[in-house]
Structure 1
């Protein structure tokens, strides 16, 4: 009996204060064996198309990476199959993807060819589609405004802790983590697992959590479950958690170690967590929006201990007010995302009755066969 493949869960995009932030270029390598880009409107079956391919591949024993939709808890935006070095992804807004190397790497699959255009262009359907599309954008913009407000309050909340932070103690904690992580590890640029010693490590940058219409959703548990050594940073904002994670990322890459870097959805250029597969180690930043429950053997570092409590006491009322306003703004964002999701669900209903799903299923089967062919090519290349 074939053992089912393993599933990994990530986000490749997220709602941020600057709008939707895409890391879709991190789903598959730029020179991947194959990338299938799905095009088509809402309700055309893109998520189901990918889920069914993934389910069949898993049943055949192949590992699959799921990239979840941050706007829809049940939706899938992409899958990547490591054994095939192939991906299938939703290339429509807000994460528009177009081929960089058409034919050589990417190929567009247009699911729009399977809708009944005459039905969609009827006056009633056309008016409804335009109205609902505008409504969805309206509520998504309101969610972005709430996210920007949350960021402003988070900045203020962090500022009070930063003003009372003992930088030396925070930096010393970072040094201790680095020393423990890299004890016995190769010298800079000499990763023993690297076929070309001396090169810098490579970073794959994704999100492990997102604020969705159902509230905060995190995959930190699945991402770090298989990691042997975990350092868990807890503490309020402004106490150096991201600084410590960034130092670990920089040190790992300088040593030639590849890193899975998971970024913050509030500050998408800054890392919240890092996983180092070669060392079976990781550093996790746990906070309200992406809480992580430490397990046996995890080393927990409370960065709040680096704050002078006497100094912080003078800001007590302001701290409480900023924290409350931050949480309220995030709740407001979730409410607006819920309204956007409801409108989007209604928009999907405009298309569902007018789709040729038998035709889509034929293309899905063809796509699955081509991914299996990519797996065979990869096995032939490696002699497996």
Structure 2
């Protein structure tokens, strides 16, 4: 694929199952040259450091992937300098990443060395209290997302009643033939699991469009929930892996076991689905799966479907409001940390890190 220094994703998501992590998929231990694990509290400069490193190497023409934080989409959880196979990760809660291959692959960078622990210890009770409030807000948000997911699945089951299974089967075969006109024998491809959309303090945030810039072929599956879009995507992905192609899976933000999109980098092909959580602004070959449904059956079920739509939106928005409240509450922690940080030390860490990464190339 062509150079693209503006590729944005999420490594984790606030879902109906709680915080769901795909941090292991930033890059494998076998493939990585180095994985830097950043430690330190809120306001200690982890995200800012990663943004500076991303900008530095991006300005030199390297392909950079930026992984945003689902609990604060303006901050980063990680970056990957693809050509160098070097990753930086936020190793603090809720993902709490620790080295798997210390020294040989992984290295800890502790920004807390720049923290005045004597001064900040005065605020121990306040910090613990805020952390407890934030934790409870997230727990409540996850309950609302769980409730929304139950309604969402009931909504899906109603639409599925109207779906013509024969038309679905024929469509799956024709789409597979369209994407894979030729069979091939090769070692199995690799999987990579991520989110392109997440529930954040700013609502439903999606970076899906940034993933499509260098794709030669884009296919879009339109239609309501319950029309087997995830099943179609999994079938295509399994076929691609069987033919030896690597596949990027982008998971559903509310039901993380389901797939929203796939990209096959070796073929420069992406297959994206649109649903009630996010609408896509993409140009490509579109298929409206609603056309496979019996309109008479949908008409009979309309009141129940409309009820589910309303309840789903209500529950989802309540969960999102709690995530936003958690962010505002968490931000109060930064005032304790920022004023007790020596950022000259952090800048020195950045300078040393740049030199070290450059030496790896």
State the TM bucket, normalised to the shorter chain: over 0.9
Query: 2:231, 2:280 → 1: CA distance?
Result: 18
Q: Note the C-alpha offset of 1:267.
A: 2.0
Residues of 1 paired with 2:4 and 2:215: CA distance? 18
Aligned partners of 2:247 and 2:264 also within 8 Å? yes
Mapping for residues 179-258 of structure 1, pairs under 5 Å: 179-183=177-181, 185=182, 187-189=183-185, 198-258=186-246
Look up the SS of the partner of 1:75 in the other structure. strand
Please give the alpha-carbon distance, in whole angstroms, between the structure 1 residues aligned to 2:278 and 2:62. 29
TM-score of the pair, normalised by structure 2: 0.97
Equivalent position to 1:293, from 281, 297, 315: 281
CA distance in 1, matches of 2:248, 2:157: 29
Q: Name the counterpart of 1:354.
A: 340
Map 1:78-157; keep pairs closer than 5 Å: 78-122=78-122, 125-157=123-155
Alpha-carbon displacement from aligned partner over 1:98-125 (angstroms, at most 9, x marks no partner) = 1110111001111112111111111xx1
Supply the distance in 2 between the matched residues of 1:105 and 1:97 (Cα, whole angstroms): 14
Corresponding residue of 1:260? 248
Partner of 1:317: 303
C-alpha distance after superposition, 1:40-89 (max 9, x if no partner): 11111100010011111112221211000111021000000012111011
Q: Is the 8 A contact 2:141 2:318 kept in 1?
A: yes
SS at match of 1:74: strand
Counterpart residue number, 1:38: 38
RMSD: 1.2
Q: Contact 1:227–1:282 (CA<8 Å) still a contact in 2? A: yes
Q: What secondary structure, in the 3-state scheme, does the structure 2 residue paired with 1:268 have?
A: coil
Distance 1:121 1:6 in 2: 41
Measured after TM superposition, the shift of residue 95 of structure 1 is: 0.8
Could you give the per-residue CA deviations for residues 211-265 of structure 1, whole angstroms, max 9, x where no partner exists? 1111111111110122111110011110111111111101100111111111112
Q: Aligned equivalents of 1:171 and 1:353: distance in 2?
A: 61
Structure 1 residue 131, shift from structure 2 partner: 1.0
Unaligned runs of 5+ in 1: 190-197, 376-384
8 A Cα contact 1:171 1:244, kept in partner = no
Moved over 6 A (4+): none
Q: Distance in 2 between matches of 1:5 and 1:174?
A: 31
Matched, 1:306 2:292: yes
Alignment correspondent of 1:381: none
Aligned residues of 1:5 and 1:59 also touching (Cα < 8 A): no
- Tell whether 2:342 aligns with 1:344: no
C-alpha contact 2:224 2:276 (8 A) present in aligned 1: no
2:265 is aligned to 277
Return the alpha-carbon distance in structure 1 between the equivalents of residues 280 and 4 of structure 2: 25
2: CA distance, partners of 1:335 / 1:363: 37
Q: CA 1:5 to 1:318, structure 2 compared with 1: closer, same or farther past 3 Å?
A: closer
